[in-house]
Amino acid sequence: MSCGSIFAQEVICPVKELDGSTKVFTLDRFDPKAAAAQLGPGPGAGACPSPQQVPAGSKAPFFLGTATASYQVEGAFKEGGRGESIWDVFSHTPGKTFEGQDGDVAVDFYHRYKDDIALMQTLGLRNFRFSLSWMRILPNGTGTVNQEGVAFYNKLIDTLKAACIEPHITLYHWDFPQALYERYGSWIDPRVVVDFAAYAETAFELFGDRVKNWFTLNEPESYCLLGYGSGVHAPGRCTDRSRCSAGEAGEDLKCIYYSALAHASAVKVFRQLVPDGVIAMTNAIGMSVPYNASSQEDVAAAQRNQAFNGGFVLDPLYTGDWGAERKQVHGQQLPAFTPEQKALLLENQQDFIALQHYTSNYAYYNKDKPPLLVDTTTKSIDGVQLVQADSPWLYVFPSAMRDLLNWLTQRYNQSILITENGVSAPGEYDKPRAEVLCDQFRVSYFQQYISNATVAVQQDGVQLLGYFAWSLLDNFEWADGYSKRFGTIYIDYNSTGLDRYYKGSSMWLSNHFGLTGIRSGPVANSTSSTGGPPAAAKPPAGAPAEADKQQARSEL
């Protein structure tokens, strides 16, 4: 392609839509310099249209965006006065992560955030969810504020706002300050409630003037069960001494308990400091679908399993107490909420449910097991096996998205923001770049999950506030290191510049939602891209053709 074009080294990507039609996208390396020249200075903060789009058919304006987390993307682990985190220590411990990989460099977002913001702009993205690294702001977890860390997040927030991209901040996405861990073991000690609330207060004071959309804790059910139950995530605690050097039975439950209290304490501070903002915890929830829908026993088993898992953290947040299913299974192991704690939870409720949804399963009754221990499977009663993603825990089950949105609405009667939904695509780790950029697997996943969410909104009356795809970029996938890619943008880990490439899914999402960036549109016809710049390259006509836009809007 022509020199200086941001459309070099193209892969032509025909993407199949659910209706059988095809859209063709041109995929290539993102060239920050060329993009900057095309994007220009932008309107600047204050002159931006609302970041909430109004897709046709939805009942409310939507936040549409992508998400990341500090330890998974930032790198720069020893720079800018950052303190150590439990994930630094865990990933540096031999045998804990895939091939001993760590987040020391990750995808270097700390240094490349300006380019990544420009990349979002080229796709017309208007919302970005990211997390703060607690230890960049408070290197020891409490005490003195590190001004260099504050300056980094100020620059990040201000650059986002100048690019008309709304920041959505998660306070805690699994990178706990090592100093506090060494002092009292983190989420299993009451001191964490006080320290997290103080950190939250600092963050609200520092950034609450410009940032109005906040999340407290990312998925306690994940970090508590994986970090303090099975021990496969930091801080790596479990009762099996052949695998974990520390950890006692019941710590996972304690972790959920103190997380709920820390969340409510942070919400309390938030109401005073950011009265015009909104806040929620994010929760990882799947759906248990009855294996045999005509068996009352299976239906009841699936319902129990759903309440047991889906209500694990949300029941305490909305009722001030554990759900009945949890009490039946764990009994005395559950730390009891005192009347004061119950009041704290009930008086400081979140503004909506922040749902992170990836996978689901079939549940069935097993007469040989106690009634609450339900068996699950990924094969339907008709023998159809759910398709497995690249991650062993992730099976593609799109219709369960609709069921789950309805279940949450019925149980809690709250509006829902989907803060993560995404998939690791088979082959993306092993195969050459040119073969994996056109990620039809991920596009199909998004198409089906989004379409089921759309039905839940349009036919079932679910109040959906928005949708964030996980993730903007390939990144450090925790214990799986870099071997699993969830990005809608490909990172070339072999290049010195950690080059970014558009995958088909980033282009499809942008186009589907009718976003208007210089890379939002499909190439009108695949042959036009061989003899010159593709149709999508005509600035600023990267906006999708009106007909495509109409179609995208009518879908969500």
Element (H or E) spanning 159, and its range?
helix 147-162
> From the list 53, 159, 288, 356, which residue makes contact with ligand PNW (rule: CB under 6 A)?
356
**Residues between 30 and 69 with contacts to ligand PNW, criterion CB under 6 A:** 69
446-462: b (≥16 Cβ within 10 Å) or e: bbbbbbbbbebbeeeeb
Cα dist from 107 to 95, 476, 532, whole Å? 22, 8, 32
Is 265 or 361 the residue whose CB approaches ligand PNW more closely?
A: 361
Helix (H, G, I), strand (E, B) or coil at 52: strand
Q: Is 358 in the site for ligand PNW (CB under 6 A)?
A: yes
Q: Is 418 in the site for ligand PNW (CB under 6 A)?
A: no
In the chain, the amino acid numbered 462 is V
The DSSP bridge partners found for residue 13 are: 25
Is 359 or 414 the residue whose CB approaches ligand PNW more closely?
A: 359
Length of the chain: 556
- The distance of Cα 473 from the centroid of its chain, to the nearest Å, equals 11
Cα dist from 161 to 155, 264, 455, whole Å? 10, 28, 32
Q: Is 221 in the site for ligand PNW (CB under 6 A)?
A: no
Cα dist from 344 to 152, 316, 317, 318, 338, whole Å? 33, 11, 10, 11, 10
Shortest gap between Cβ of 539 and ligand PNW (angstroms)? 34
**Residues that contact ligand PNW, how many (by CB under 6 A):** 15
Q: Is 406 in the site for ligand PNW (CB under 6 A)?
A: no
Helix (H, G, I), strand (E, B) or coil at 125: coil
> From the list 78, 209, 385, 393, which residue makes contact with ligand PNW (rule: CB under 6 A)?
393
Of 10, 166, 201, 219, which is the active-site residue?
Answer: 219
In the chain, the amino acid numbered 153 is Y
Going by C-alpha positions, the residue among 12, 19, 14, 36 that lies closest to residue 518 is 36
> From the list 97, 265, 359, 511, which residue makes contact with ligand PNW (rule: CB under 6 A)?
359
Tokens 């609330």 correspond to 197
Q: Is 477 in the site for ligand PNW (CB under 6 A)?
A: yes
Shortest gap between Cβ of 78 and ligand PNW (angstroms)? 22
Q: Is 218 in the site for ligand PNW (CB under 6 A)?
A: yes
> From the list 90, 486, 490, 501, which residue makes contact with ligand PNW (rule: CB under 6 A)?
486
Of 420, 428, 477, 555, which is the active-site residue?
Answer: 420
> From the list 219, 315, 325, 439, which residue makes contact with ligand PNW (rule: CB under 6 A)?
219
The DSSP bridge partners found for residue 52 are: 63
Q: Is 310 in the site for ligand PNW (CB under 6 A)?
A: no
Q: Is 428 in the site for ligand PNW (CB under 6 A)?
A: no
347 is catalytic: no
Query: Which of 113-121, 247-255, 356-364, 536-544 is the region at the interface with ligand PNW (rule: CB under 6 A)?
Result: 356-364
DSSP state of 96: S
Where in the sequence numbering do the catalytic residues fall? 219, 420
The residue ranges that bind ligand PNW (CB under 6 A) are: 69, 72, 218-219, 222, 284, 286, 356, 358-359, 393, 420, 470, 477, 486
